[in-house]
């Protein structure tokens, strides 16, 4: 501990201070749920965050206390990121799509003392109020009818406030995983981990942010800290365009009107945007870059964006990884690749950015590390400064003895570091001692012209232990049968991977973050049996 | 200190581990002084660094011990950056152009135990050996005739080594400032500060490194850690092209042959390259980006590079700032600017990257902070995680009570954060209580067709305290007189700034880093007097 260089605590207040100092009038535009629009800037966000920090102190909130937000993407939500962290508090971004039991569990588990929420989520608050006994204050981001309005609340303060200091490993945010099994688990982001994650996120191989970037993040601010964009964006002094509604017509209009260069979201978001443009007979917005993550980006999506001149940054991560693990930035040979080769590369999940370390281990024996040969598929493990060590209030660490976190994903590592996700450890199907990727079967099946959605699960089999069964939702107005689907798959996957049965269903269950819930699918078909 | 996220010491060994893992076969090319060329890659650099760390341990070198390098840019020098840091040692990069007294002072002051050197610096070693009593080992990077050759030395090891761990605030490198007054001072770069500096350096507004970058750094590895390029480059897995000679013909050939996209150097380097291309009647190399720093980049240089399609990253920093303070990345309105506006912006020194904070204070009263209004010119102060706090072995901190380091530079801060350097505090001229920028006078003077170089210093004046005197070296084969120079300046600076005298000299003294030495100029003209 030398002190040759200056002492500088890695606190996220540095981020907003920097943005307000170096890009004071770079705009933050919000389209609100009621259709109105407001414009502020980085200086304004900081001013309001200072007022909010004051206001929280007046409520008796102390460093380490949790403040919940149930809100869409908008400038006031952004203010609360910095306002809560700035007084030493911890912002708990709640996913409003969670089921009531989950909402009850996480707000109580986090010991939230304040709940900030959008007017559109008043019904949630009304329903949950009695089940959240320790919440002391409700504040509405919009002009609240039943509770204090955010602007009135912070408007009473003068902003004459000094950020509360503390250890750089203090938490500044907590997010709960949607939890495919058991109760949701809380992941705490520390000031230090958040700062390093955001600095890494700036780089050309990740978000590639500069002063000229204009970002409309469709990824919600409650989904893994909006992938860290609100921090990385502030560091580069970018312009942000937020929309409190995810209607593609609104997003499209804002993108054109505000000169948006970058956007980020899960595949569903991009799909909805495509459909909107097709219906209207208009071009996709002229985006410079599109970050896609949360689930695998399908081939046609990548192709269409690339043909639009948009660089596709296919990213992999999870709530437990802050979330950036890998990003598909251009490789060094990029300019020499054909279009098809570029698409093939982009379909994989990209490469780890500095700070992140990946390895795969044998699915049957986690102590056996697999080679990075582009062939061996195994359980994916991750290590690094913004990767979870221990869940909130857990009694033990969530990492192996040598410090690796088990992602629950199954993947292949290529010699050049590229990650190719193939499945979830829970969903991969073990047939006669060999592994079948449920995801690859699904991806192949959705290529069938009559298939709208497909989910594949391993079902008990008397001889093979497990065999794949494909559940299919047909596209409206189309017809097909099991044989046609299997025939379609037969030249796309190994013969022994072909599903033993194809079941047509009206719908496939989803989690609160919009992913296929195989847990619920399995529950629904718990009596399903395959015969020899 | 929560431990919600994983523990991850910010040590520079993470950088080389990352590069060797994620970009193992991305090349490191070296053109040696003897004209030969070698190619290795990031995996090779790491392998050799491990061997070197072992070899150092065998010599009895301990964590915290200093190892000096007197060397140009090449792959073995790069190996030693990581090899020394990897065993806990501190690499002292020595500027071979220092005067003997300075060389004696710094190697002894740093307590260097080992000296690594290029064969071309054998004369230095021969001369200094007796004056460096505590140096125990000499190793020659080339095939040494009189001492162990580097390759033989590390070749005896098997590389089976674990990086030595330690505190993230341990030093990993030490550089001495060339010292315009008194003895040179040692600036220690810590593992942590180096890592943050390099992460910040990756971003689009700074070096803009991605896997596709191919960098030929002309800035020497002994000049402020080569601006952090060897660390930032490893983080992004770029290709490096090194040249152990700075002959423009060689640099040019390497740039074309190896597909170099980026380069970095002081203005003199670029000037030499221009002259070479003009003489040969060939185009400048098709660089994507040129980083220029160390002194102000002149207008014609910026224009010429920009017309060549090269983005000019005009950067300001100093040994004490690791060194990146500001970089002139594109501003958000860049695409809407005319060519001349772009040039004018680029002539300023750019904007602080995240982590760095600047302010200017009144030259007469350092407690008075000046506004960032694009007009007030004052003493420049800096703060941040990679900014010096205390020089090596100093008894007191080099920062103000509120933690700011006085850069010794004079500048203007613009409302958008842009820094415009105008002078050095030691060189700015105080005439009748008002300040005159010596640098602005010099910059204007070199625009005169007959002026090769100009240096302006304040000379004692009976009435005005100080008045500017301009020392001029004429271009070969041209003629001009004092009146012609003053007439030329008269529409370029305020009337009361015009020099009281113009003196023609055969040469202007320079420091070891190639900057004008006003200290020596003043000494040479110590008897100079101006009359009323
Ligand atoms: N690009 C991607 N491709 C495939 N799956 C992904 C991708 N990004 C995230 N996921 C999945 O989403 C999980 C993280 O979910 P969550 O914590 O809710 O963000 C990961 O463990 C993966 O299973």
Sheet containing strand B186-190, strands side by side:
B148-149, B137-140, B112-117, B66-70, B90-93, B171-176, B186-190
Q: Specify the residue with its C-alpha closest to ligand 1, atom 20.
A: A318
Q: Which of A296-300, A385-389, B181-185, B297-301 has the lowest mean pLDDT?
A: B181-185
Cβ-contact A157, A55 below 8 angstroms: yes
Q: What is the mean pLDDT of residues B211-237?
A: 97
Mean pLDDT of chain A: 95
Backbone angles phi, psi at A309, to 5 degrees: 85, 15
**Kind of pairing, strands B451-461 and B419-424?**
unpaired
Q: Pick the residue from chain B with its C-alpha nearest to A238.
A: B332
Q: Pick the residue from chain B with its C-alpha nearest to A418.
A: B22
So what's the pLDDT on residue A443? 87
Closest Cβ–Cβ partner in B8, B24, B236 for A385: B8
Helix pair B339-347, B299-307: axis angle to 10 deg = 130
Is B405 in the A-facing interface, judged by CB distances under 8 Å?
yes
Per the CB < 8 Å rule, is A332 touching B237?
A: yes
A292 CA closest ligand 1 atom index: 1
Cβ-contact B486, B499 below 8 angstroms: yes
Q: What is the mean pLDDT of residues B260-278?
A: 94
So what's the pLDDT on residue A135? 98
CA distance A498 to A493: 7
Q: What is the mean pLDDT of residues B171-195?
A: 90
Pocket flag, ligand 1, residue A269 (CB < 6 Å)? no
pLDDT at B490 over 80: yes
Structure tokens belonging to residue A413: 């590592």
**Ligand 1 centre from A295 Cα, in Å?**
5
CA distance A68 to A112: 6
| Residues facing residue A467 across a β-bridge | A459
In chain A, which among 142-201 make CB contacts under 8 A with chain B? 167, 169-171, 187-190, 192-193, 196, 199-200
Which residue numbers of A are catalytic? 177, 320, 430, 435
A407 CA closest ligand 1 atom index: 21
Pocket flag, ligand 1, residue A484 (CB < 6 Å)? no
Pocket flag, ligand 1, residue A294 (CB < 6 Å)? yes
Q: Which of A46-50, A467-471, B404-408, B448-452 has the lowest mean pLDDT?
A: B448-452
Per the CB < 8 Å rule, is B4 touching A403?
A: no
Question: CB under 8 Å to B251, separation ≥6 — which residues?
Answer: B216, B218, B243, B273
Structure tokens belonging to residue B270: 């670029």
Is B23 in the A-facing interface, judged by CB distances under 8 Å?
yes
Find where tokens 């003392």 sit: A113
Q: Which of A100-109, B155-164, B241-250, B293-302 has the lowest mean pLDDT?
A: B293-302
pLDDT at A182 over 80: no
Pocket flag, ligand 1, residue A177 (CB < 6 Å)? yes
CA distances to B174, B489, B501 from B443, in Å? 33, 10, 17
Sheet containing strand B405-413, strands side by side:
B365-369, B357-362, B377-383, B405-413, B419-424
Q: H helices within B207-309, ranges in order?
A: 229-236, 248-257, 267-280, 299-307
Which one has a higher pLDDT value, A513 or B316?
A: B316
Residue B218, CB-side half-sphere exposure with 13 Å CA sphere: 27
Mean pLDDT of chain B: 94
**Ligand 1 centre from A404 Cα, in Å?**
18
Q: Specify the residue with its C-alpha closest to ligand 1, atom 3.
A: A296
Pocket flag, ligand 1, residue A176 (CB < 6 Å)? no
**Kind of pairing, strands A66-70 and A90-93?**
parallel
Pocket flag, ligand 1, residue A318 (CB < 6 Å)? yes
pLDDT band of residue A110 (cuts 50, 70, 90) is very high
Cβ-contact A82, A16 below 8 angstroms: yes
Q: What is the mean pLDDT of residues B480-506?
A: 93
CA distance B346 to B178: 27
Pocket flag, ligand 1, residue A517 (CB < 6 Å)? no
pLDDT at B204 over 60: yes
Tens digits of residue pLDDT in A251-266: 999 999 999 999 999 9
Q: Which of B2, B19, B234 is the best mutation test for A, with the most CBs of A within 10 A? A: B2
Distance from CA of B332 to the nearest CA of A (A): 4
pLDDT at B181 over 70: no
Contacts with A14 from chain B: Cβ below 8 Å: 354-355
Find where tokens 């002391």 sit: A136
All domains of chain A in start order, with CATH: 12-347 (3.40.50.12780), 356-424 (2.30.38.10), 429-525 (3.30.300.30)
Question: CB under 8 Å to A428, separation ≥6 — which residues?
Answer: A363, A410, A422, A435, A436, A437, A438, A458
Tens digits of residue pLDDT in A356-398: 999 999 999 999 999 999 999 999 999 999 999 999 999 999 9
So what's the pLDDT on residue B512? 76
Q: Pick the residue from chain A with its C-alpha nearest to B261.
A: A332
Is A404 in the B-facing interface, judged by CB distances under 8 Å?
no
CA distances to A79, A216, A218, B285 from A244, in Å? 15, 11, 9, 48
Query: Which secondary-structure segment (H or E) carries A460?
Result: strand A451-461
Torsion over CA: B423, B426, B427, B433 (sign): positive
Question: CB under 8 Å to B279, separation ≥6 — which residues?
Answer: none
Q: What is the mean pLDDT of residues A488-495?
A: 92
Cβ-contact A66, A113 below 8 angstroms: yes
pLDDT at B131 over 90: yes
Pocket flag, ligand 1, residue A227 (CB < 6 Å)? no
Mutate which of A97, A178, A317 for ligand 1? The one with the most ligand atoms within 8 Å of its CB, which is A317
pLDDT at A50 over 80: yes
pLDDT at B253 over 60: yes
Q: What is the mean pLDDT of residues A81-92?
A: 98
Cβ-contact B42, B26 below 8 angstroms: yes
So what's the pLDDT on residue B180? 58
Structure tokens belonging to residue A510: 């989803």
So what's the pLDDT on residue B531? 85
Tens digits of residue pLDDT in B136-153: 999 999 986 778 999 999
Q: What is the mean pLDDT of residues B20-40?
A: 97
Per the CB < 8 Å rule, is B204 touching A208?
A: yes
So what's the pLDDT on residue B144? 65
In chain B, which among 198-217 make CB contacts under 8 A with chain A? 199-200, 202-205, 208-212
Structure tokens belonging to residue A302: 């990548």
So what's the pLDDT on residue B56? 98
Tens digits of residue pLDDT in A60-70: 999 999 999 99
Say how far residue A407 (Cα) sits from the centre of its chain: 14
Cβ-contact A436, A429 below 8 angstroms: yes
Backbone angles phi, psi at A381, to 5 degrees: -120, 155
Q: Pick the residue from chain B with its C-alpha nearest to A208.
A: B204
pLDDT at A1 over 60: no
So what's the pLDDT on residue B298? 87
Q: Which of A26-40, A308-322, B215-229, B516-530 has the lowest mean pLDDT?
A: B516-530
ipTM of the complex: 0.93
Cβ-contact A413, A360 below 8 angstroms: yes
Which residue numbers of B are catalytic? 177, 320, 430, 435
Q: Which of A282-286, A473-477, B201-205 has the lowest mean pLDDT?
A: A473-477
Which residue, among B59, B72, B63, B51, has the nearest Cα to B90 in the 3D structure?
A: B63
pLDDT at A144 over 80: no
Per the CB < 8 Å rule, is B211 touching A332?
A: yes
CA distance A275 to A304: 12
Q: What is the mean pLDDT of residues B6-12?
A: 97
DSSP state letter for A5 = B
So what's the pLDDT on residue B510? 86
So what's the pLDDT on residue B375? 95
Q: What is the mean pLDDT of residues B496-516?
A: 89
CA distance A12 to B10: 18
Q: What is the mean pLDDT of residues A414-419?
A: 95
So what's the pLDDT on residue A147? 86
Q: What is the mean pLDDT of residues A279-291?
A: 97
- Residues of chain B with pLDDT > 70, as a percent, come to 99
Q: Which of A1, A5, A358, A404 is the best mutation test for B, with the most CBs of B within 10 A? A: A5
Pocket flag, ligand 1, residue A319 (CB < 6 Å)? yes
pLDDT at A180 over 70: no
So what's the pLDDT on residue A179? 60
Which residue, among B208, B256, B257, has the nearest Cα to B235 in the 3D structure?
A: B208
A322 φ/ψ sector (left φ>0, alpha ψ -120 to 50, else beta): left
């Amino acid at each position: 501990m030398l002190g040759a260089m200056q002492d500088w605590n890695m606190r996220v207040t540095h981020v907003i201070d920097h943005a307000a100092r170096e890009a004071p009038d770079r705009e933050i535009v919000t389209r609100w749920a009621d259709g109105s629009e407001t414009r502020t800037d980085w200086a304004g966000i900081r001013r309001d965050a200072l007022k909010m920090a004051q206001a929280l102190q007046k409520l008796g909130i102390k460093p380490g206390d949790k403040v919940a937000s149930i809100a869409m993407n908008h400038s006031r939500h952004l203010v609360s990121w910095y306002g809560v962290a700035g007084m030493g508090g911890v912002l708990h971004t709640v996913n409003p799509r969670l089921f009531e039991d989950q909402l009850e569990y996480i707000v109580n588990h986090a010991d939230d003392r304040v709940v900030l929420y959008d007017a559109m989520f008043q019904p949630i608050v009304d329903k949950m109020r009695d089940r959240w006994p320790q919440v002391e204050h409700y504040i509405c981001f919009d002009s609240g009818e039943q509770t204090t309005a955010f602007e009135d609340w912070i408007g009473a303060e003068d902003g004459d406030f000094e950020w509360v200091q503390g250890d750089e490993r203090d938490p500044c945010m907590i997010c709960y995983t949607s939890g495919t099994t058991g109760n949701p688990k809380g992941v705490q982001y520390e000031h230090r981990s958040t700062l390093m994650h955001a600095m890494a996120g700036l780089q050309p191989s990740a978000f590639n942010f500069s002063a000229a970037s204009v970002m409309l993040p469709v990824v919600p601010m409650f989904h893994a800290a909006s992938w860290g964009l609100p921090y990385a964006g502030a560091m580069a002094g970018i312009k942000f365009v937020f929309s409190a509604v995810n209607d593609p017509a609104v997003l499209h209009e804002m993108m054109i009107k505000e000169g948006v260069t970058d956007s980020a979201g899960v595949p569903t978001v991009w799909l909805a945007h495509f459909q909107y443009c097709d219906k209207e007979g208009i071009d996709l917005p002229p985006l410079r870059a599109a970050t896609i993550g949360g689930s695998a980006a399908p081939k046609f999506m990548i192709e269409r964006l690339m043909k639009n001149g948009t660089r596709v940054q296919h990213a992999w991560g999870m709530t437990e990884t802050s979330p950036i693990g890998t990003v598909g930035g251009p490789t060094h040979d990029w300019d020499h690749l054909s279009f098809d080769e570029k698409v093939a590369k982009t379909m994989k999940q990209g490469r780890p950015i500095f700070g992140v370390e990946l390895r795969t281990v044998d699915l049957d024996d986690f102590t056996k590390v697999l080679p990075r040969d582009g062939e061996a598929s195994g359980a994916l493990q991750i290590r690094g400064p913004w990767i979870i060590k221990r869940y909130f209030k857990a009694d033990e660490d969530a990492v192996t003895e040598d410090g690796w976190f088990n992602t629950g994903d199954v993947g292949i590592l290529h010699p050049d570091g590229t990650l190719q996700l193939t499945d979830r450890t829970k969903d991969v199907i073990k047939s006669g001692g060999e592994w079948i990727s449920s995801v690859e079967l699904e991806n192949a099946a959705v290529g069938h012209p009559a298939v709208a959605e497909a989910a594949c699960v391993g079902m008990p089999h008397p001889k093979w232990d497990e065999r794949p069964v494909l559940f299919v939702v047909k596209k409206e107005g189309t017809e097909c049968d099991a044989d046609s689907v299997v025939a379609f798959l037969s030249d796309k996957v190994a013969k022994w991977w072909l599903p033993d049965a194809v079941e047509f269903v009206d719908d496939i269950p989803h989690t609160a973050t919009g992913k296929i819930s195989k847990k619920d699918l399995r529950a629904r078909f718990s009596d399903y049996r395959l015969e020899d």
